[in-house]
Amino acid sequence: MSAKANILAKLRNSLAGTQPIADDYDVALVTEPWRYPAGERISRLRQLMEAVHTETHLTTTTDWPALVERLLAVRQLPSLLIAPGTPHGAQLAAHFAGRPGLPVLKAYDRPVEEWKAELFDDTPASLTGTLGAIAATGSLILWPDRHEPRLMSLVPPVHFALLKASQIRDNLYEVMQEQRWAAGMPTNALLVSGPSKTADIEQVLAYGAHGPKDLIVLILEDA
């Protein structure tokens, strides 16, 4: 018999004559303690994210490219990785177009194998969109895809994330239901709740472990 058959046979034998325990999932318990008035969602999200060293900015659908430009200048970042196939990637590219002297916009438009060394060694920052955020835990929701690949939000040391204020929800359960996650998960889905960190040495918190050292969230108030 195969390992699979053996394992399953043992488990089935142990369950002989028993019934599965009924599903008594308590929706209220995972939602009620985590509800916020609409007006407080943004402030709670910012407060939680800033507590773990995230930088947040309130901006608008028209102003954000200029804000990115300023933030890049403040940090003296020479280039920014963008997803040209996304609306926000295109908007930023349009804002930068024809203006020499600005940081270089790099497009993630080919398989990682073709430019892995450059991604790791010479890509100081990236900009991605988000699917929304969760006020309860201060988390961004990212579903990387063909246009905005997985490594964009992981390898560059500085990660800019765009968040539409209208897409901030109260809690994870609500997000899963509303966005119908169970009906089809992408290859990779992520909750990101700050820049990478570790407390593995004597419980002293240090930021910039393996992922981004800086996470900068741009909240679009009018979107």
54-93 residues near other proteins, rule: CB under 8 A:
none
- Segment near other proteins (CB under 8 A), from 35-43, 61-69, 73-81, 180-188? 180-188
Does residue 181 bind other proteins (CB under 8 A)? yes
Question: How far from 168 is each of 29, 45, 83, 173, CA to CA, in Å?
Answer: 20, 8, 22, 13
Instruction: State how far the Cα of 99 lies from the Cα of 66, in Å rounded to an integer.
Output: 12
Residue selected from 22, 76, 97, 98 as contacting other proteins according to rule CB under 8 A: 22
Using a 10 angstrom Cβ sphere, with 0-12 exposed, 13-18 middle and 19 or more buried, the burial of residue 216 is buried
Interface positions, 149-168, toward other proteins (CB under 8 A): 149-151, 154-155
**DSSP character for 142?**
E
Residue selected from 50, 69, 167, 173 as contacting other proteins according to rule CB under 8 A: 173
Residue selected from 44, 45, 46, 48 as contacting other proteins according to rule CB under 8 A: 48
Q: How far is the CB of 214 from other proteins (least distance, A)?
A: 13
Torsion angles phi and psi, residue 63, rounded to 5 = -85, -20
Q: Please list the residues that pair with 141 across neighbouring strands.
A: 132, 191
Q: How far is the CB of 166 from other proteins (least distance, A)?
A: 22
Does residue 192 bind other proteins (CB under 8 A)? yes
Does residue 107 bind other proteins (CB under 8 A)? no
The helix/strand/coil state of 59 is: strand
Residue selected from 61, 86, 91, 137 as contacting other proteins according to rule CB under 8 A: 137
Using a 10 angstrom Cβ sphere, with 0-12 exposed, 13-18 middle and 19 or more buried, the burial of residue 28 is exposed
